[in-house]
Amino acid sequence: MPFEVPNYLYSLARKLHLDPAEKDEIIQELEAHLEDKTAELEADGVDHDTAMSRAVEEMGASNAVARGMYEVHSPGVWRDVLLATIPHFLLASLFALHLWSQYFLVSLLLIAIAFVTWRNWRAGTPSKWSYSWMGYSLAAPALSWLLSLITLGYGAWTLVTTGQLPFNVVFFALLIGYVPFSMWIMANVILKMMKRDWLLASLTALPFPFLTSWVLFLNWQGGLWGDHSERMQDSDTARALIFLAMAVTTAVFLKVGSRLLRIGLLTVSTAVLVIITAASLPVSLGALAVVLMIIASLAFLLSPAMVESKIERRRLQAEGVGELPDGWPLDKE
């Protein structure tokens, strides 16, 4: 088989962003199609190498073929859609019923979500519905990392300005160890998700900006354990609607096949929900502050695309553009 064919199929496989088993099945079908087309051309008197090159040319550019295959195979079934929206509905219920300040109940809920996510990911290839569950499973370590970083900054500033720590030295040392450790865990999980598709990593990150803004606001109002549940209940309805909107966004995301539509959906819904979040907070935010919140949220949500692009460039530089890596299964004699 000419080198052009396995190179073409390998390039196409890299751009499919589908389950490994599904991707292998598609590549095998396309390879069989190329072999059949080649045999048909050879029967018409075309030599083997020319026939194979023409078969590849008639199949089309790998980008276009991968895009078409993705649009056909990426939409989830209704079971995946319904399961993916459950965490959003659960969080919406917490705010609608004014239960978000019952931290024991919230902890139990997050532990249950994390357990279901762990069981699904431990089984092998994660299901499409599990990415939204992973978002809430990572919420606790991500927010604790953020609060730890803020606490470290406050402690360091106090130490520099007053010569004393505002809390125990042992606690300060534990925070110093916890921050890089938790970041390492989250980075590994996120990189694993991006190996499948950076868009699914962005879907996973969808709740983060809104959970972060809420926790930071509570912390600013006197700490997570402060007695401010009653005066914050006025915004609970808006917060519940935000999580319901996330459920709808997740459902539509999993049902549409176009990557451009998925990117547009995440972008528009995030911008709209940031505006709703800013309007629901019991503080007055200027237009500039809201715009900066939107930009920060979108940058965070779409950051997996930039990370994946850098990883891909490094991989191509390591392998050599146009060359197949050792052990590529289609590299036949």
Distance CA 11, CA 9 (A): 5
Instruction: List the structure tokens of 163.
Output: 């010569």
Which tokens go with 85?
């929206």
Residue 307: is its pLDDT beyond 70? yes
| Average pLDDT, integer, range 192-199 | 79
Q: Note the pLDDT tens digit of each residue in 37-70.
A: 888 888 888 888 888 888 888 888 888 888 888 8
- Residue partners of 191: CB distance under 8 A and separation at least 6: 307
pLDDT tens-place string over residues 173-186: 887 887 787 778 77
- The predicted structure's pLDDT at residue 255: 92
Helices and strands in the chain: count of H runs, count of E runs: 15, 0
pLDDT, tens digit, for every residue of 82-139?
A: 999 999 999 999 888 888 878 788 888 888 998 998 888 887 678 889 999 998 888 7
What span, in angstroms and rounded, lies between the C-alpha atoms of 132 and 127? 10
CA-based R_g, the chain, Å: 25
Helix, strand, coil percent values for the chain (each to nearest 5): 80, 0, 20
Stretch (H or E) spanning 20: helix 20-43
pTM of the model: 0.79
